[in-house]
Structure 1
Amino acid sequence: MAVQHIAETRQVLVVEDEMTIVLMIEDTLYELGAQVVGPASRLDAAILLAKEASIDAAILDVNIRGGNSYPVADILAERGIPFIFCSGYSDWALEERHRDRPRLTKPYSSSELAERVLELLGVASS
């Protein structure tokens, strides 16, 4: 895949508690020209960033240390910030209020992640 860069630096919140996945997400975002906010591996830190950080989009692992990321998703939805869930669970396992949200099923590739992030940021992929 030819790596597409976003025109201006965008801030992407990363909520993930598995370090190998965090590293892949960070590499993918850097290749796109985005800046990583976080990563947050605990619910309390993720909630704080979701409330206070300047972010353009977010990548949320459903299950993280301290609970699940639904409270973070609720805050982002209230702020009008697009996000994607990353999970090994099926759609039916997500809370009903979030089932219509974009989702990547684990395991996913960096190219799949890049495509979804570009969609979240409103950047057409090539």
Structure 2
Amino acid sequence: MAVQRIAEGRRVLVVEDEMTIALMIEEMLLDLGAQVIGPESRLDAALRLAAEATLDAAILDVNIRGGNSYPVADILAERGIPFVFCSGYNDWALEERHRDRPRLNKPYSLMELENKVIQLLSALSN
């Protein structure tokens, strides 16, 4: 029940261009009581949401249609919004400025993602 309170009403941006994965992430977030923003599969739309939407956290696939999500991450970081990268790349493949960010290696389980989202949202409550 504590998990539910942490995520209840929280707005989480999802940037993922694989529809099956995006739907699984969306369902997991809804089960936690979070409000899903997106999912967005295109860089231009993700940039707009990162800059303008009221957000509590974000889940970012590194490679998306139109490029990669690093510019989205830059905006979120400037705004102080926590996020997690989801990627099949090793640490060395991520841009250096983002190597210390929370990350999940693909393929990841929904439980791993849920735990990471709970960590991001719990940090907001502290």
1:61 corresponding residue in structure 2? 61
- Bigger fraction of residues in helix: 2
Cα deviation digits, residues 26-79 of structure 1 (max 9, x gap)? 111011110100111000000000000000000000000000000000000000
1:82 corresponding residue in structure 2? 82
5 Å-filtered alignment, 1:17-28, equals 17-28=17-28
SS at match of 1:4: helix
Per-residue deviation at 1:3?
9.2
**Which blocks of at least 5 consecutive residues in structure 1 are unaligned?**
none
5 Å-filtered alignment, 1:38-53, equals 38-53=38-53
CA distance in 2, matches of 1:17, 1:42: 7
TM-score (norm 2): 0.93
SS at match of 2:4: coil
**Which blocks of at least 5 consecutive residues in structure 2 are unaligned?**
none
Cα deviation digits, residues 61-111 of structure 1 (max 9, x gap)? 000000000000000000000000000000110000000000000111111
TM-score (norm 1): 0.93
1:6 corresponding residue in structure 2? 5
AA of the residue aligned to 1:85: F
Runs of 4+ in 1 over 4 A off after TM superposition: none
Per-residue deviation at 1:122?
1.1
Sequence identity of aligned pairs in percent?
A: 74
